[in-house]
Structure 1
Amino acid sequence: MNFIYLANINKLSWSVLQDQKKILSHSAQLDIEKFRFDRDKCRNLVGKMLLLYSLQRHEQFQQSYLPVIDYGLYRKPFIHSIEGNFNISHAHDWVACVYSTNGEVGIDIEYVTPINIIDYQNVMTKNEYQIALNDPHFDFFQLWTLKEAIMKAQGQGFYLSPSSFELPFPF
């Protein structure tokens, strides 16, 4: 089973939220402080808070702090002491965390803005690009979030080129 948790951070400020850093290890707290912008700090910490919530809910995790997060060869996060898998994404005012008991999982969210599809030709297969140019129902952000979630679930991130695999349309 997959569980998705979302949070809107629009009305959160770092000055209020930063006390919640105590759920993290000391090194993870230092990592958050390296972000230049407070919004990035908020997104990162809220993602970790959603992860802790999902562990407490689905792993019967009793601690009030997050276990140490390790990273695989391509920087995919994992926690040795849990049975399930997770992934976190954030964009603009939204943060998402997915927890899965079914195996590897990835999630991606994007802030939708007007784009010029020509600028994104290199992240699509030739067939996907032709559909993008010719089908009025094509939604680039739907394609992109699916591709990035797959890349994250595979554990390779951008080491797996988004143009190296194709998703059937309609999605």
Structure 2
Amino acid sequence: MIILYTFISEANHQPLLDRYLPVFSQESKQNILRYRRWQDAQLSLLGKVLLEYGLKTYYNISDIETDVLTNKKPYLKGNDLHFNISHSKNLVTCAIAEYSLGIDVEFNDQKISYQDFIFQMTDKELQEIQNSEDKMKQFFMYWTRKEAVIKAHGAGMILPLDSFEIINNECHIVGEKFFTKEIFIHKEYHSCIASSDQKIKEVMPIIKYIEEDILL
């Protein structure tokens, strides 16, 4: 598994658009340009760019075509590799593996209060957070695990966070078992990966920062 990440830059926004929009599909162009804020547009663009860069650099795959399943989860057409993209604040990351997975990153926003999200937690999860010495760190661990599992499952917003419980980095969703693993990408962000394949419990992913200049 490889995990690539980079940060958005306003100075590089137009050069990135000039470089990649002409080679992206019409659908990808529309998805990127529909955003009003340059930050959102660039996060979307860089997710696709990191995917292409990762496939070409680490798997020698140049021509890729993506599509979405009926549950809206994206996949690579005609290829056994899997990928997932996540972004938060100024960071965007792309994970690529030989098995289905989900990745979630969350900015360590100290303005957030875990009490605002109590309605999305089970009683046991809430107790775990409240009993922790660092409640906000525990909250972000809870949040990234849940989001990574939802993305690995592919259910999206139709699966409430409090509808399943992760214990010892494992959980069940409608008879399917999922595993989670916390990873470190950047000190200002919390991050986690998840998969229905238990290989993820032991995996030591290659985590690489890609400077935007390399992508231009």
Q: What TM-score do the two structures reach when normalised by structure 2?
A: 0.71
Which consecutive residues of structure 2, in runs of 5 or more, have no partner in the other structure?
A: 170-181, 183-216
Q: Which stretches of structure 1, 4 residues or more, deviate above 4 A after TM superposition?
A: none
Q: Which digits, 9 at most, give the CA deviation of each residue in 1:88-138, with x for residues without a partner?
A: 00111100000011x110011111112222211122211001121222244
Shift of residue 12, structure 1, vs aligned partner: 4.5
Map of 2:101 onto structure 1: 105
Report matched runs for 1:21-170 at 5 Å.
21-63=21-63, 67-101=64-98, 103-114=99-110, 115-138=112-135, 139-168=138-167
Aligned-pair CA distance for 1:11:
5.5
Greater strand fraction, Structure 1 or Structure 2: 2
Is the CA contact 2:102–2:152 (under 8 Å) kept in the aligned structure 1?
yes
1:43 deviation in Å?
A: 0.5
Contact 1:59 1:83 in 2 (8 A): no
d(CA) in 2 for partners of 1:99 and 1:11? 27
In the TM superposition, residue 61 of structure 1 has moved relative to its aligned partner by: 1.2
Deviation at residue 69 of structure 1 after TM alignment: 2.1
C-alpha separation in 1, matches of 2:59 and 2:80: 7
1:166 Cα deviation from its structure 2 partner = 1.5
Q: What secondary structure sits across from 1:86 in the alignment?
A: strand
Q: Which has the higher contact order (CA 8 A, sep 6+)?
A: 2
CA RMSD of aligned residues (A): 1.9
| C-alpha deviation, 1:60, in angstroms | 2.1
SS at match of 2:105: coil
The one-letter code of the counterpart of 2:76 is I
Percent identical across equivalent pairs? 31
Q: Deviations over 1:51-72 (max 9, x none)?
A: 0012113432134xxx332111
Q: Aligned pairs, how many?
A: 166
2:10, 2:39 within 8 Å by CA — same for their partners in 1? no
